[in-house]
Amino acid sequence: MRALIALGGNAMTDAAGRARPGDQIAAIATAMDRVAEVVASGVEVVLTHGNGPQVGNLLVKNELAASVVPPVPLDWCGAQTQATIGFIVLDALEAALSRRGVPRQACAVITRTLVDGSDPGFTQPTKPIGRYLPQAEAEVLIGHGQTWQDRGEKGWRRVVASPEPLQILDARAIATLVSAGFIVVANGGGGIPVVREPDGGLRGVEAVIDKDLGAALLARVVDADVLVIATDVPAAMVGYGTSAARALERVSRTELAGYAAAGAFGAGSMGPKVAAALRFLDSGGAMAVISSLDQIAVAVRGQAGTVVLPDPGPADLDRGPTAHPDPMA
């Protein structure tokens, strides 16, 4: 069995969300201990991760230094965080595997993801990133070509494009390394967004790719059987914030899609994770799971979290509504 495990931002920060170097190293060590448990059980693992807190730190450095040095472009921020997180993950994962007597080597791939250069977000960006600033500080960054919007009493906030991930350009390298037996860390933060120029060349762009949708795309590239989206909650919920709130356990693709269509999941939180799970199943995946990080060893086998299975076929329907086979059996 091959699993693509997508680690959310909570795997890279402490319990309070702080992303100081020591906090990140400690949090990633804990996460890799969980991943090593999965690897030791015989599951082939490919990893991807979020990078929101890390990019956020770089944006603050950009802002503080904008009057002295030009801000680092957002695609550079993505590349830097892929490398930094990848390096910490490799050290922590290999140490956790060594403690278990599992002789496996990991590697990280700086990964570019193709997006559509004509996406309307590039001319009318709407995705807010970073912190709020006073107008005077925002105007310095506007002078460097960034787009900032007045958000009233809170101040000004930067907005960028958030285009759909179309293609992982480094897919061949990733697949080759996976086939050679490496535990690969790839496509961090949804990938470094690039567009193709009229002459066929590539150019990095100021954009943010949704990491969960990027994970679904990577899972297809590596031919994963299972997509596990590790987050900071035990499962997806419907009726969140109401007295009727309940966690979803084992659901079909159609059932989950129905909840999504009814607006059950927040656009900036659970919504992208649900969308990624649905896309993975639509591309032929056997099972998608949304679960907390500390449960991934059992979640990868469909025994924790929100387990999403393909719609039952005619033979399953003949056996009754609860006859979902275990896709890992």
Say yes or no to pLDDT of 151 above 80: yes
273 included as an active-site residue: yes
69-111 pLDDT, tens digit per residue, is 988 999 999 999 999 999 999 999 999 999 999 999 999 999 9
Say how many C-beta atoms besides its own lie within 10 A of residue 177's C-beta: 20
| CATH code, domain with 280 | 3.40.1160.10
Does residue 300 lie in a domain region? yes
Give the N- to C-terminal CA distance of the chain in Å, as an integer: 10
Q: Catalytic pick from 57, 127, 155, 204?
A: 127
Cα 58 to Cα 78: distance, rounded to the nearest angstrom: 10
As given in the structure block, the two tokens for residue 233 are: 């909650």
211 included as an active-site residue: yes
**Most trustworthy range by pLDDT among 5-9, 58-62, 221-225:** 221-225
Mean pLDDT for the stretch of residues 142-169: 95
Note the pLDDT of residue 313. 64
Say yes or no to pLDDT of 329 above 50: no
57 included as an active-site residue: no
Say yes or no to pLDDT of 297 above 50: yes
Question: Which string of DSSP letters, residue by residue, matches 125-149?
Answer: --EEEEEEE-HHHHHHHHTTT--EE
42 included as an active-site residue: no
Residue 93 φ/ψ, nearest 5 degrees: -70, -45
154 included as an active-site residue: no
Note the pLDDT of residue 239. 86
Does residue 170 lie in a domain region? no
**Most trustworthy range by pLDDT among 19-23, 111-115, 117-121:** 111-115
Give the residue numbers spanning the domain of 304.
Answer: 227-324
Does residue 201 lie in a domain region? no
Contact between residue 260 and residue 276 where contact means Cβ atoms under 8 Å apart: no
Provide the percentage of residues in the chain whose pLDDT is more than 70: 95
Does residue 2 lie in a domain region? no
Number of domains in the chain: 1
Contact between residue 239 and residue 245 where contact means Cβ atoms under 8 Å apart: yes
Does residue 112 lie in a domain region? no
Note the pLDDT of residue 320. 44
Strand, helix or coil for residue 122: helix
Contact between residue 4 and residue 218 where contact means Cβ atoms under 8 Å apart: yes
Cα 79 to Cα 130: distance, rounded to the nearest angstrom: 17
Say yes or no to pLDDT of 327 above 90: no
Note the pLDDT of residue 150. 96
Q: Is 78 left (phi over 0), alpha (psi -120 to 50) or beta?
A: alpha
Say yes or no to pLDDT of 325 above 80: no
Say yes or no to pLDDT of 323 above 50: no
Q: What is the mean pLDDT of the chain?
A: 91
Residue type, 213: L
Q: Catalytic pick from 211, 214, 285, 302?
A: 211
As beta bridge partners, residue 204 has 194
169-228 pLDDT, tens digit per residue, is 999 999 999 999 999 999 999 999 999 999 999 999 999 999 999 999 999 999 999 999
pLDDT band at 240 (very low <50, low <70, confident <90, very high): confident
Q: Catalytic pick from 62, 187, 191, 273?
A: 273
Does residue 20 lie in a domain region? no
Residue 262 φ/ψ, nearest 5 degrees: -85, 5
Does residue 1 lie in a domain region? no
Cα 163 to Cα 161: distance, rounded to the nearest angstrom: 6
Q: Catalytic pick from 8, 10, 187, 189?
A: 10
As beta bridge partners, residue 231 has 292
Residue among 96, 95, 38 at smallest CA distance from 225: 38
Residue among 274, 282, 329 at smallest CA distance from 310: 282
Does residue 141 lie in a domain region? no
Q: Burial-class residue 104 by CB neighbours within 10 Å (0-12, 13-18, 19+).
A: middle
Contact between residue 151 and residue 157 where contact means Cβ atoms under 8 Å apart: yes
Cα 52 to Cα 271: distance, rounded to the nearest angstrom: 17
Cα 41 to Cα 159: distance, rounded to the nearest angstrom: 43
Mean pLDDT for the stretch of residues 128-151: 93
Note the pLDDT of residue 11. 74
What residue spans of the chain are helical by DSSP H?
21-40, 52-65, 74-99, 135-142, 171-179, 211-221, 253-261, 270-282, 296-299, 314-319
Contact between residue 12 and residue 53 where contact means Cβ atoms under 8 Å apart: yes
Note the pLDDT of residue 20. 87
